Structure 1
């Protein structure tokens, strides 16, 4: 005895919604990363380089090939200075 195709309609709808939501989340993550795919297993070195790239270009994943840093980059030191005890 065959299964009526109407029984598969809810499963097709659910599968379609899972596919759509996965594609939409992937697109949103790519838009947040400047059009690049999301990074996984980011260690301390990668975070430092991504922070440097953000300070240079304004984007977390942006990169530049300029030899000279933009104006104001010398003032954007990521190290925090502790206050002296008075």
Structure 2
């Protein structure tokens, strides 16, 4: 039985699973510097490795920015929200 020795050249940013495992540190560096890195298993794209910063951007990490933007865009943003405070009831205590 002979093996097919023809080498397929993967596009930049694409890794076969065994290469990704063997060169994991390089994969992580490239994901940080160059962008998403695609991992293939048996020639099919299975996963994509992205930097933490890119992941936060894509997943809409909760930074509070969205709430601030919504409040600033509100037509009621000039409404005063001071609570109405009255005297607190006090119980008599014998000392």
TM-score > 0.5, shorter chain as reference: no
Higher strand share goes to which structure? 2
Higher helix share goes to which structure? 1
| TM-score, length-scaled by structure 2 | 0.28
